[in-house]
Amino acid sequence: MPLIRYTLALMALMVLPARADTVTDFTLDNGMQVVVIEDHRAPVVVHMVWYRVGAADEPAGHSGIAHFLEHLMFKGTDEVGPGELSEIVQANGGSDNAFTSWDYTAYFQRVAADRLGLMMKLEADRMADLRLAPEDVETERDVILEERNQRTENSAGALFSEQSRAAQYLNHPYGIPIIGWKHKMQTLSKADALAFYRTYYAPNNAVLVVAGDVTPDGVRDLAEQYYGVLAPSADLPVRARPQEPPQLAERRLTFDDPRVAQPYVMRTYLAPERDPGGQETAAALTYLAELLGGEGATSFLGEKLQFENQTALYTSAFYDGLSLDDTTFGVVAVPAPGVTLQGVETALDDALQSFLETGVDPVLFASLKAQLGAAEIYARDNIQGLARRYGQALTSGLTVADVQAWPEVLQAVTPQDVMAAARMVLNRDHAVTGWLERPQADVVEVTQ
């Protein structure tokens, strides 16, 4: 009876096309790419500069230098003192921060729209004129070590993910943590940071994204004034990281930690990413993740493991196609009380096999397609999210056209595409299967 009602609802749901008319892009003479996203609902602007460099571009043996440099970028220039940039942003009612990933490093401010020129002046200044005092470098190294303590060392799950990722990539630097291996972080120097800065921080290696209450002409004038005068780098390295060889054998690991409260199984498979002009496979994998492990009450793994045989408390599948090189497709299963990790892994594999045999539920597929269309409507409420979408894509090898085509590529996916992608990606020779658990001695103690 409910089935009929929601099928009608699906038919009524119109999928609106993404509105590309609010986005403008152009390139300055020095090679700096600019994207402007207009939203005039509030007098706010988000100003972001994204560099096409991240942890996967680090020189061998210097893991963590991209992220360390991101911290040091707040330590002053020839014109602005240490910490002063953030003070100026705050004095103007704004907030600022930065983030580093394997493929990009980005700096942003959120501020009243009439302060955009000032933000550009500050950001252009530190693109060219970073000045580092030795004592600031020493102190900030302690800060990033405490950041690693907080994010990774204090979390059994984070350590487990780090080990798992290192096993996933045999040759590509995606296997090295963004924040760096601890013993390498302890050796990072001012000279390392400045060498990385001089190599990669230049207008022709940067993307400016401005979103909010602005016009393309207004942004262009300011960008030419502040960024346009910077000299491009003549010798930017070609962005070619060591690629993966054929992966021929599944890797398995068991991570024991007394801090584990809830054991679980995680498996990641090497998977293709979104490529310029070729996003179809990634789009199919996006559906596959949702169909297998999106909403627990309707996904395939949720139905099988949480509702039918009740071997799992929780299941999930994840995939993010925004990546310059090969990414991963992952599944997670948290065993129900009384079920072993082997038991839930077997149930997981049985369910995956069953999915490959039975195929896509057409009603669920249609519902997902409509939801992905609606997500574009909801996404327009968040200018910072839209700005991130462009910045991330343009530093991960994609073009503005690819970003704008993505919603249509998603709408064009068929159930056959999804099954073809599933058969391609769910190959255990390309996978890492990990168990996170308490040490056996502990388990004996707490068994009821």
Identify residues 319-378 at the interface with another protein (CB under 8 A): 334, 336-337, 363-364, 367-368, 370-371, 373-375, 377-378
Among residues 36, 88, 207, 352, the one that binds another protein under rule CB under 8 A: 88
Restricted to residues 377-406, the positions that interact with another protein (CB under 8 A) are: 377-378, 380-383
79 binds another protein (CB under 8 A): yes
Q: How far is the CB of 26 from another protein (least distance, A)?
A: 25
- 260: contact with another protein by CB under 8 A: yes
* Cβ neighbours for 255, distance < 8 A, ≥ 6 positions apart: 156, 159, 160, 163, 164, 434, 435, 436, 437
Are 244 and 171 within 8 A, CB to CB?
yes
User: Do 340 and 263 form a contact (C-beta atoms < 8 A)?
Assistant: no
Binding to another protein by residue 143, rule CB under 8 A?
A: yes
Task: For residues 260 and 443, give the distance between their C-alpha atoms in angstroms, rounded to a whole number.
Answer: 10
> Is 140 one of the annotated active-site residues of the chain?
no
306 binds another protein (CB under 8 A): yes
Of the pair 36, 324, the CB lying nearest another protein is at 36
The type of residue at 401 is A
Shortest CB 35 distance to another protein, Å: 19
Q: Binding to another protein (CB under 8 A): which residues in 264-303?
A: 295-298, 303
Looking at 38, 58, 70, 308, which residue is catalytic? 70
In the complex with another protein, which residue's Cβ is closer, 143 or 412?
Answer: 143
Which residues in the 149-178 window bind another protein by CB under 8 A?
149-150, 153-154, 156
- Rule CB under 8 A: is residue 444 a binding residue for another protein? no
104 with 395: CB under 8 angstroms? yes
Tell me the CA distances in angstroms from 66 to 5, 140, 234, 390, one per residue in order.
Answer: 53, 14, 21, 21
DSSP state of 16: P
Among the listed ranges 165-173, 247-255, 310-318, 408-416, the one in contact with another protein (CB under 8 A) is 310-318
The DSSP letter of residue 237 is P
Rounded to the nearest 5 percent, the helix, strand and coil shares of the chain are 50, 20, 35
Q: Which helix (H) or strand (E) is 12 found in, with range?
A: helix 2-12
For the bound state, the minimum distance from the C-beta of residue 246 to another protein, rounded and expressed in Å, comes to: 38
Enumerate the active-site residues. 70
